[in-house]
Amino acid sequence: MVVTFLPGLRCQRCCALLLMLLTCFPAFCSTNLVGDSKPVDVLKAVENLKQSVLELNRDLLILEEDLLFPSSTQVSVFLSVDVGEFFALDAVKLKIDDQLVASELYTERQVDALNRGGVQRLYLGNLKVGNHEISAFFTGKGPQGRAYKRGATLSVEKDKSGQVFELRIIDSTKKLQPLFDIKQWPSF
């Protein structure tokens, strides 16, 4: 009988097995099977083996992400806020081709981090080659503390390279209102 695991389960089981072996290794070495080795050498070998397992786990997680989200179909969407004087963000909803792919409610601390220049990855997924429509809906408090709901839409032509988009909330000092748009970054 052949058992097939998903890449993520295979990584987790491999690392779990290696960690189990590492915990049993000192007990195994304490018996006289090792010979005249000093306990210090054994501990160094265990530490080196643990470091190798951690590096292997990191490499496996990177490989798993590459397998799940190949760069030819990968789409990333980020959110940024510039200043935040005219708009206090409460929530964002992201739709791709009229399908909700991400929704986020923000705490005060998260909004503060965004206002100080932070950028949040809202979505990472796959998108086939062709025409697509990206829509974002922002809710919060606008000028004079009134409830505010605005949207932004961008039609894009997805090619065979990865795509990165930025949802931007920008204060317009000319209009004394926030502006909402979606910026497409160069392909990678």
Residues 31 and 82 in one domain: no
Residues 29 and 104 in one domain: no
Determine which helix (DSSP H) or strand (DSSP E) holds 29, and give its type and residue range: helix 7-30
Q: How many residues are given for the chain? A: 188
- Conformational region of residue 3, where left means phi above 0, alpha means psi within -120 to 50, and beta covers everything else: beta
On the CB side of 77, how many CA atoms lie within 13 Å of its CA? 23
- Give dist(CA 99, CA 169) in Å, integer: 22
Q: Which of 68, 94, 113 lies at the terminal end of a domain, its last residue?
A: 68
Residues 98 and 179 in one domain: yes
Structural domain that includes position 100: 74-185
pLDDT at 99: 94
pLDDT digits (tens, 9 = 90+) for 102-111: 999 999 999 9
Residues 163 and 106 in one domain: yes
Residues 104 and 46 in one domain: no
Residues 56 and 109 in one domain: no
What does each of the 188 residues of the chain score in pLDDT, given as a tens digit? 333 444 454 555 655 655 565 565 555 555 544 455 567 788 888 889 999 999 999 999 888 877 777 767 788 999 999 876 788 899 999 999 999 999 999 999 999 999 888 999 999 988 888 899 999 999 998 877 888 899 999 999 888 888 899 999 988 878 778 889 899 998 76
Residues 146 and 58 in one domain: no
The encoded tokens of residue 27 equal 């007990």
pLDDT at 2: 39
Residues 84 and 62 in one domain: no
Query: Angle 166-169-174 (CA atoms, 0-180°, nearest 5)?
Result: 130
pLDDT at 12: 59
Q: Which of 109, 100, 108, 122 is nearest to 166 (CA)?
A: 122
pLDDT at 74: 85
- Give dist(CA 145, CA 45) in Å, integer: 62
The encoded tokens of residue 107 equal 């705490």
- Give dist(CA 171, CA 64) in Å, integer: 39
Instruction: Evaluate if pTM is beyond 0.85.
Output: no
As for how many domains the chain has, the answer is 2
Q: Which of 21, 45, 68 lies at the terminal end of a domain, its last residue?
A: 68
Instruction: Classify residue 1: in a domain, yes or no.
Output: no
pLDDT at 15: 57
pLDDT digits (tens, 9 = 90+) for 1-30: 333 444 454 555 655 655 565 565 555 555
Q: What is the CATH number of the domain that holds 139?
A: 2.60.40
